[in-house]
């Protein structure tokens, strides 16, 4: 099973709203399998399809690190129904290697999505799972965790974000054409 290539900030696909998934798309089981494998390989607890270059409204989550099969969540066309409370906690993202910052999130959330069998389900969570659900559903709307940083945290990572943009910019060629 192949690992999928990670897209890093500021790749424009990370700012795109992902396309609605056709629940009958026969590629879905294979894509989901590869996304889980890529997520475990990267030591993440969640991965959205656009983070691996796929324009699909689809994410996977596993807060158990692969230890608990029941913790595996496939979120197809997910919708956040409600969030409650507020927490400010350290957060990172596989599309921002090496960057950690304090993000403000709902303490709890409730999400509706479809699973691989095409069945609608709801998941309600607090703690790490609530954070992962908000983080991944955000990705699929083109939103990133840096949009949720506290003012102090945003200021602290501003230089690093600028550097990431600079590193990704096309290198100027020495040749004049
Ligand atoms: Zn992320």
| Residue 67, helix vs strand vs coil | coil
Ligand 1 midpoint to CA 143 (Å): 9
Distance CA(132)–CA(128), nearest Å, equals 6
Ligand 1 midpoint to CA 47 (Å): 7
Q: State pLDDT tens for residues 81-106.
A: 999 999 999 999 999 999 999 999 99
Ligand 1 midpoint to CA 124 (Å): 20
Worst-scoring range by mean pLDDT, 134-138, 144-148, 171-175? 171-175
State the catalytic residue, choosing from 37, 42, 82, 136: 136
According to DSSP, residue 16 is labeled: S
Angle at 23 between CA 19 and CA 25, to 5 degrees: 85
Cβ distance 20 to 77 under 8 Å?
Answer: yes
Ligand 1 midpoint to CA 173 (Å): 32
Q: State pLDDT tens for residues 58-76.
A: 999 999 988 998 999 999 9
To the query of whether residue 136 is one of the catalytic residues in this protein, the response is yes
Q: State pLDDT tens for residues 109-127.
A: 999 999 999 999 999 999 9
């Amino acid at each position: 099973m192949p690992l999928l290539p990670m897209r890093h900030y500021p790749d424009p696909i990370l700012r795109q709203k992902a396309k609605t998934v056709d629940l009958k798309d026969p590629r879905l089981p294979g894509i989901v399998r590869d996304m889980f494998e890529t997520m475990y390989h990267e030591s993440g607890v969640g991965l959205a399809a656009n983070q691996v270059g796929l324009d699909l409204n689809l994410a996977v989550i596993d807060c158990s690190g692969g230890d608990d099969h029941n913790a595996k969540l496939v979120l197809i066309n997910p919708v956040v129904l409600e969030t409650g409370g507020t927490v400010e906690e350290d957060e990172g993202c596989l599309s921002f290697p090496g960057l950690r910052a304090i993000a403000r999130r709902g303490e709890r959330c409730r999400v509706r999505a479809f699973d691989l069998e095409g069945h609608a389900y709801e998941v309600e969570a607090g703690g790490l799972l609530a954070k992962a659900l908000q983080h991944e559903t955000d990705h699929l709307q083109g939103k990133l965790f840096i949009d949720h940083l506290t003012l102090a945290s945003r200021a602290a990572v501003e230089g690093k974000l600028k550097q990431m943009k600079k590193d990704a910019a096309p290198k100027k060629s020495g040749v004049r054409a």
